[in-house]
């Protein structure tokens, strides 16, 4: 457990200490406890901000990879399509394009599934 994380026993210890020391030390106890609460809130906030930043960076990377795959697919389709179209090999042309589409669809499905899982 991190040092800044607060639990129920921390609250109970504060109350027990207050009872033992009396009202003369109440301000110091409250101030000390308030500082611990503030550190815990700041630590949690920083952790959540880091998680959001990492998710955003992952999402940006996924979009860039998807774009690169699309560009490479189009680039690869040209040398595949031209000879097959010129020689009237329609079945081979259909199979080639189906493979290209399937690869792009599979990649997009994996990326989208990962993003849906992270948003839950």
pLDDT tens, residue by residue, 9-29: 877 787 788 788 877 878 887
Q: What is the 3-state secondary structure (H, E, C) of the chain?
A: CCCCCCCHHHHHHHHHHHHHHCHHHHHHHHHHHHHHHHHHHHHHHHHHHHHHHHHHHHHHHHHHHHHHHHHHHHHHHHHHHHHHHHCCCHHHHHHHHHHHHHHHHHHHHHHHHHHHHHHC
Q: What is the 3-state secondary structure (H, E, C) of 95-114?
A: HHHHHHHHHHHHHHHHHHHH
Indicate the pTM of the whole model.
0.55
| Residue 72 confidence class, pLDDT cut points 50, 70, 90 | very high
Q: Does position 77 have pLDDT exceeding 90, yes or no?
A: yes
User: For residues 70 and 103, is the Cβ–Cβ distance under 8 A?
Assistant: no
- Sorted by where each begins, the domain ranges of the chain are 8-119
């Amino acid at each position: 457990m991190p040092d800044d994380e607060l639990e129920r026993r921390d609250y109970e210890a504060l109350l027990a200490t207050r009872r033992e020391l009396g009202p003369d030390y109440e301000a110091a106890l409250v101030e000390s406890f308030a500082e611990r609460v503030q550190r815990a809130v700041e630590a949690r906030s920083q952790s959540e901000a880091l998680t959001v930043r990492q998710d955003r960076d992952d999402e940006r990377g996924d979009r860039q990879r998807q774009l690169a795959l699309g560009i490479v697919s189009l680039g690869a389709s040209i040398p595949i399509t031209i000879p097959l179209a010129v020689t009237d090999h329609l079945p081979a042309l259909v199979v080639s394009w189906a493979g290209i589409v399937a690869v792009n669809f599979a990649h997009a499905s994996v990326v989208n599934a990962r993003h849906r899982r992270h948003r839950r």
